């Protein structure tokens, strides 16, 4: 009995101590909030005002899991993310009862099924396509769907390793992003596209200029299939790449040729290319030195500003053209970018792609320049739409991030990514098991390809790239759909045009 009483006394004393400590903490917080000058809410409502910040922070997560409808969130809604998750996990993507998609939303793509489609044993199959007719070593690209540029630095080591291994298994290419070619990009043995950003990471000399010697060294690797000269990306057109200092470790600094622990800020454009002629000279130089196909990645602001570019190509001859053009939409993503550029600058891919395709075709370069579409194209309908619009290839970055397990935590720029994808914190990277995730990367890619082939089969063609603008209708503001070839008429007169 005495022991029981003593235990109660101890518990009572502990309770008093806890209450005392809590009261002391509240007094301290009250004094701090009253005396600080930066936050009016906390100054006027000490302690209680702190809950506003807590609830605002937690609100993002509560909306994602409890309150937002399946197709409400931005930049990607739950339905889009779950499709990728199911595809990457090998689960069926069949649904029951009926579609939850509102087909009356302006811009919605509706594909026109053929009254007499090919029989099931004649299902559409995608074919390889040649890129770089005038390069010494052209590239026969096996897949129309591939992995867009994501730098090692923006992504973690295990994320890049999983992408490389997954790309090899699925037979798709992997772009390095502008951060240079890391050993982890090459680990899986997949086809690699070496992106050259404005800072020339991975191919720069001691002064930060383009190094022909390093170009040749990379081009000698059989995995490096093409070079992509990055002019701009959708999330930050007119602004160079941004890698926060906390992400620049010794290995990344070595690969990029920069100082460890220092923010990696790229110039806003290539200093060697101040006009269209100089840009074509730069493309020709890289192609000559490397022997590999060379293209550009850009964002369309207005089609008329690109007219002189194609006129200059016609003047010089088709061999002077880039081997491909990657069109990134203004809705494209990145690890870190100024909000005004991410929100307000650059045409979205739904408008930019048809305009750039028409510029190319108007100047008779449809067989010379391959068109690659990029920008929030993560589901089969997105990819099929892009092909109908005129894309020869489609690349996705965030789709493959979702296949790795991204939960859209929006922490890519803070080195605190909870899934280990965009952080260099070893404790957080432990959550990304490469041996498991690369299988999901491969399954996602294969599922996209398979379902785009299913759409192509339904509209009545035998290969996805045979889909044309007439095969998709776009919903207008009045709720009625119109064929895409009426909204964006083709400029080609031949029977094989994009209508």
pLDDT at 341: 53
Each residue of 25-73: pLDDT tens digit?
Answer: 888 988 888 888 777 677 777 888 777 666 666 555 555 555 555 555 5
Q: Is there a single domain that holds both residue 319 and residue 225?
A: yes
Domain final position from 35, 52, 67: 67
Q: How many domains does the structure of the chain reveal? A: 2
Q: Is there a single domain that holds both residue 62 and residue 210?
A: no
Q: Is there a single domain that holds both residue 393 and residue 262?
A: yes
Asked, for residue 438, whether it belongs to a domain, the answer is yes
Residue with structure tokens 């020339």?
A: 200
Q: Is there a single domain that holds both residue 358 and residue 440?
A: yes
Asked, for residue 445, whether it belongs to a domain, the answer is yes
3-state secondary structure of 224: strand
Asked, for residue 74, whether it belongs to a domain, the answer is no
Residue 111's contacts (CB-CB under 8 Å, 6 or more residues apart) are 381, 384, 388, 455, 458, 459, 471, 472, 473
Asked, for residue 30, whether it belongs to a domain, the answer is yes
Q: Is there a single domain that holds both residue 232 and residue 136?
A: yes
Tokens of 62: 């509560």
User: What does the pLDDT profile of the chain (499 residues) look like in tens digits?
Assistant: 555 557 777 778 888 888 888 888 888 988 888 888 777 677 777 888 777 666 666 555 555 555 555 555 556 666 676 767 777 777 766 655 456 666 768 888 999 998 888 777 677 788 999 999 999 999 999 999 999 999 888 889 999 999 999 999 999 999 999 888 999 999 999 999 999 998 899 898 888 889 999 999 999 999 999 999 999 876 556 566 677 777 788 888 888 877 788 777 778 888 888 899 999 999 999 999 999 999 999 999 888 999 999 999 999 999 999 999 999 986 665 555 565 555 556 788 999 999 999 999 999 999 999 999 998 898 999 999 999 999 999 999 988 988 988 877 777 777 788 888 888 888 888 888 899 899 999 999 999 999 999 999 999 999 999 999 999 999 998 889 999 999 888 766 444 455 5
Tokens of 304: 């008329």
Q: Is there a single domain that holds both residue 225 and residue 137?
A: yes
Q: Is there a single domain that holds both residue 56 and residue 136?
A: no
Q: How far apart are CA 305 and CA 301, in angstroms?
A: 8
What number of residues does the chain have?
499
Asked, for residue 227, whether it belongs to a domain, the answer is yes
Q: Is there a single domain that holds both residue 182 and residue 301?
A: yes
Rounded to whole angstroms, what are the CA distances from 28 to 32, 36, 46, 316, 325?
6, 12, 10, 74, 60
Q: Which of the 8 DSSP states describes residue 460?
A: T
Contact assessment for residue 150 and residue 297, using Cβ atoms and an 8 Å cutoff? no
Rounded to whole angstroms, what are the CA distances from 362 to 160, 367, 375, 379, 437?
39, 12, 24, 30, 43
3-state secondary structure of 392: coil
Q: Is there a single domain that holds both residue 29 and residue 169?
A: no
Domain final position from 40, 67, 94: 67
Asked, for residue 493, whether it belongs to a domain, the answer is no
CATH number at residue 268: 3.20.20.70
Asked, for residue 496, whether it belongs to a domain, the answer is no
* Residue closest to 452 by CA, chosen among 391, 405, 366: 391
- Domain residues for 352? 122-487
Interstrand relation of 294-298 and 393-396 (parallel, antiparallel or unpaired): unpaired
Asked, for residue 101, whether it belongs to a domain, the answer is no
pLDDT at 494: 45
Q: Is there a single domain that holds both residue 219 and residue 330?
A: yes
Q: Is there a single domain that holds both residue 166 and residue 287?
A: yes
Rounded to whole angstroms, what are the CA distances from 49 to 43, 61, 379?
8, 20, 42
Q: Is there a single domain that holds both residue 243 and residue 384?
A: yes
């Amino acid at each position: 009995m005495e022991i029981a009483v003593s235990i109660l006394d101890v518990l009572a004393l502990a309770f008093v101590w806890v209450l005392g400590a809590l009261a002391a903490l509240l007094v301290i917080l009250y004094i701090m909030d009253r005396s600080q000058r930066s936050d009016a809410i906390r100054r006027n409502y000490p302690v209680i005002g702190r809950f506003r910040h807590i609830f605002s922070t937690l609100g993002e997560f509560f909306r994602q899991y409890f309150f937002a409808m399946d197709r409400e969130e931005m930049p990607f809604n739950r339905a889009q993310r779950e499709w990728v998750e199911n595809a990457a996990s090998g689960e069926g993507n069949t649904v029951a009862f009926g579609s939850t998609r509102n087909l009356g939303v302006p811009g919605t793509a509706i594909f026109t099924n053929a009254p007499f489609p090919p029989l099931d044993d004649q299902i559409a199959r995608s074919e390889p396509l040649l890129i770089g007719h005038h390069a010494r070593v052209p590239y026969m690209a096996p897949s129309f769907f591939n992995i867009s540029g994501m730098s090692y630095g923006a992504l973690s080591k295990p994320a890049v390793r999983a992408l490389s291994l997954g790309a090899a298994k699925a037979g798709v290419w992997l772009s390095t992003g502008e951060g240079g070619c890391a050993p982890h990009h090459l680990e899986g043995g997949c086809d690699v596209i070496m992106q050259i950003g404005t800072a020339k990471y991975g191919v720069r000399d001691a002064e930060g200029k383009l190094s022909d010697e390093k170009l040749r060294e990379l081009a000698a690797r059989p995995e490096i299939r093409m070079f992509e000269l990055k002019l701009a990306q959708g999330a930050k057109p007119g602004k160079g790449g941004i890698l926060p200092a906390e992400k620049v470790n010794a290995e990344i600094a070595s690969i990029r040729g920069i100082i460890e622990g220092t923010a990696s800020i790229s110039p806003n454009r290539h200093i060697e290319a101040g006009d269209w002629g100089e840009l074509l000279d730069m493309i020709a130089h890289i192609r000559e030195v490397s022997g590999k196909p060379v293209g550009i990645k850009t964002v369309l602001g207005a089609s008329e500003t690109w007219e002189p570019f194609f006129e200059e190509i016609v003047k010089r001859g088709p061999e002077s053209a880039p081997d491909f053009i990657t069109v990134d939409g203004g809705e494209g993503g990145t690890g870190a970018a100024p909000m005004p550029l991410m929100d307000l600058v650059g045409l979205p891919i739904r408008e930019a792609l048809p305009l750039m395709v028409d510029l190319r075709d108007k100047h008779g370069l449809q067989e010379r320049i391959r068109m690659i579409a990029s920008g929030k194209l993560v589901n089969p309908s997105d990819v099929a739409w892009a092909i109908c619009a005129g894309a020869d290839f489609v690349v996705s970055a965030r789709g493959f991030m979702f296949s790795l397990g991204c939960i859209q935590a929006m922490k890519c720029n803070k080195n605190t990514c909870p899934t280990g994808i965009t952080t260099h914190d070893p404790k957080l990277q432990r959550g990304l098991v490469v041996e498991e995730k690369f299988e999901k990367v491969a399954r996602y890619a294969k599922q996209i390809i398979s379902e785009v082939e299913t759409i192509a089969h339904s509209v009545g063609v035998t290969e996805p790239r045979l889909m044309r603008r007439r095969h998709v209708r776009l919903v207008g503001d009045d709720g009625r759909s119109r064929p895409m070839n009426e909204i964006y008429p083709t400029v080609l007169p031949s029977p094989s045009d994009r209508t």
